[in-house]
């Protein structure tokens, strides 16, 4: 589909779904964003839903300003995936031991490694730049400097919520049956701590006093507050990318130990909570994607569904009306609290049939029924991406 303009905004808010299906709270947020004086335009993805300050599934282009809430608290959160030479026929009938091996190698939830992971000891892990990366920690906002030990041990860990590690099988096409590895995670506690500190600073700035929502407070280019946020943001985005790289290397090692003949293609990786400097219509803009991936022409990306519905590998079409973006997933259709009230453990088992995964009360809020229909989401963004591969998980690890 092509976009629809959301009425009642100063800047254009282009929507890649039926505006009538957007929850009232999210629609209000979008109108608030579109009213900000610094906003050049907003692209709303078909997985849009309510978030703190800014909606999840929104791409916001600003002139010389940034709203930390438009990035979110999990700075640099994103996806990584790699195709293997294996097929589903190579996988064991009982996938339980493989799931347990993954959970043993990669801490989940609030857990961390007992000792920091040494990337130089992981086969295939790039070793360049680590010393320079960690040397920048001392220049971060002073309030987080005591968290360095925790940040080093959480590097290479999954977290909880909608983060996951999966073994998937390609559906249909010439490579049907091919096995992929996939994971979703971000900047862990350190990214959250940095984001929350900067959001608090922004809320107190005089130019944000009359905003319709103080959570949309912005930093302005040329100020020390903006410089500090950009510095910490850049570091946290790199932390998230390195976190996924370590996890993917650890995951590959687990699979290599279980299935010795495995070989891996080049990984695909993409942020979906981040900031980029981009140029549209001859104007230099700061583009924030909160629950959206870059989909420039030829860009490979990953759009997951839920723990029972599979995912898509996509190639961007470079649609500049959407600031070269696409959705980051299916998007929630109900809150976690409502999902827990609506569904049971029995429902979870039914909706994840055939997937080796947790099927207990701790992950009921991640049940497929709490998410939008991924097929419909993909259909609504046919002018943003083309499908490269459709994957269905057979193993899913959650925190």
User: Could you confirm whether domain 73-270+296-317+329-333+371-398 is CATH 3.20.20.70?
Assistant: no
In this prediction, residue 128 carries a pLDDT of: 87
Length of the chain, in residues: 399
* pLDDT tens track for 287-338: 999 999 999 999 999 999 999 999 999 999 999 999 999 999 999 999 999 9
Residue 160 CB burial class (10 angstroms; 0-12, 13-18, ≥19) = middle
Question: How far, in Å, CA of 327 to CA of 290, rounded?
Answer: 10
| pLDDT(1) > 80 | no
Which segments are annotated as binding site for Mn(2+)? 74, 163, 184, 272
In the annotated binding site, the residues are 74, 162-166, 184, 272-273, 304-307, 311, 328-331, 398
**Other beta carbons less than 10 A from residue 260's beta carbon:** 7
Q: Do 237 and 78 form a contact (C-beta atoms < 8 A)? A: no
Q: What is the pLDDT of residues 42-60, one digit of tens each?
A: 999 999 999 988 999 999 9
Are the C-beta atoms of residues 355 and 371 closer than 8 Å to each other?
Answer: no
Across 222-250, average pLDDT? 98
Tokens of 325: 């973006």
Taken in order 140, 67, 274, 279, is the CA torsion positive or negative? negative
Give the three-state DSSP class for 48. Answer: strand
The helix (H) or strand (E) run that includes residue 124 is: none
Task: Quick: pLDDT tens for 363-399.
Answer: 999 999 999 999 999 999 999 999 999 999 999 999 8
Identify which of 39, 49, 63 has the alpha carbon closest to the alpha carbon of residue 15.
49
Q: What is the mean pLDDT of the chain?
A: 96
* pLDDT > 90 fraction of the chain, expressed in percent and rounded: 94
Determine phi and psi for 11, rounding to 5 degrees: -90, 150
Within 13 Å and on the Cβ side, how many CA atoms surround 313? 23
User: How does DSSP assign 347-375, residue by residue?
Assistant: HHHHHTTT-BS--SGGGGGG-GGGB--HH
Run of H or E including 252: helix 224-258
**Both structure tokens of 158:** 């999954």
pLDDT of residue 124: 80
Q: What is the pLDDT of residues 125-173, one digit of tens each?
A: 888 899 999 999 999 998 899 999 999 999 999 999 999 999 999 999 9
Q: What is the pLDDT of residue 80?
A: 98
Question: pLDDT digits over 242-256, tens only?
Answer: 999 999 999 999 999
Mean pLDDT to the nearest integer, 189-203: 96
- The pair of structure tokens assigned to 367 is 């049940």
Domain positions in the chain are 73-270+296-317+329-333+371-398
Catalytic residue annotation: 328
């Amino acid at each position: 589909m092509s976009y629809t303009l959301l009425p009642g905004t100063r800047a254009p808010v282009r929507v890649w779904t039926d505006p009538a299906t957007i929850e009232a709270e999210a629609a209000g947020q979008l109108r608030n964003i579109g009213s900000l004086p610094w906003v050049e335009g907003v692209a709303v993805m078909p997985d849009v839903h309510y978030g703190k300050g800014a909606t999840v599934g929104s791409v916001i282009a600003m002139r010389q300003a940034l709203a930390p809430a438009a990035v979110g608290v999990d700075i640099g959160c994103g996806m990584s995936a790699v195709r293997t030479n294996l097929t589903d026929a190579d996988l064991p009938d009982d996938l339980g031991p493989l799931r347990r091996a993954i959970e043993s190698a990669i801490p989940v939830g609030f857990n961390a490694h007992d000792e920091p992971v040494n990337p130089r000891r992981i086969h295939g892990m790039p070793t360049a730049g680590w010393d320079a990366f960690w040397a920048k920690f001392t220049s971060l906002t002073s309030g987080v400097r005591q968290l360095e030990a925790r940040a080093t041990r959480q590097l290479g860990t999954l977290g909880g919520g909608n983060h996951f590690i999966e073994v998937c099988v390609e559906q249909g096409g010439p490579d049907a049956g091919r096995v992929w590895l996939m994971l979703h995670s971000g900047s862990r506690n350190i990214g959250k701590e940095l984001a929350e500190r900067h959001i608090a600073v922004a809320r107190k700035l005089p130019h944000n006093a009359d905003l319709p929502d103080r959570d949309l407070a912005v930093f302005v280019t040329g100020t020390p507050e903006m410089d500090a946020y950009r510095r910490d943001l850049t570091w946290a985005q790199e932390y998230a990318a390195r976190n996924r790289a370590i996890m993917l290397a650890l995951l590959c090692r687990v699979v290599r130990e279980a299935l010795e003949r495995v070989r891996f293609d080049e990984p695909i990786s993409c942020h979906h909570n981040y900031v980029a400097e981009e140029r549209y219509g001859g104007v230099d803009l700061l583009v924030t994607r909160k629950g959206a991936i870059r989909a420039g022409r030829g860009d490979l990306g990953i759009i997951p569904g839920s723990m029972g519905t599979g995912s898509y590998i996509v190639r961007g079409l470079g649609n500049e009306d959407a600031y070269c973006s696409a959705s980051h997933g299916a998007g929630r259709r109900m809150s976690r609290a409502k999902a827990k009230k609506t569904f049971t453990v029995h429902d979870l088992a039914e909706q994840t049939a055939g997937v080796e995964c947790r099927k207990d009360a701790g992950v009921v809020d991640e049940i497929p029924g709490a998410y939008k229909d991924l097929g419909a989401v993909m259909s609504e963004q046919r002018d943003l991406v083309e499908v490269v591969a459709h994957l269905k998980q057979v193993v899913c690890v959650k925190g």
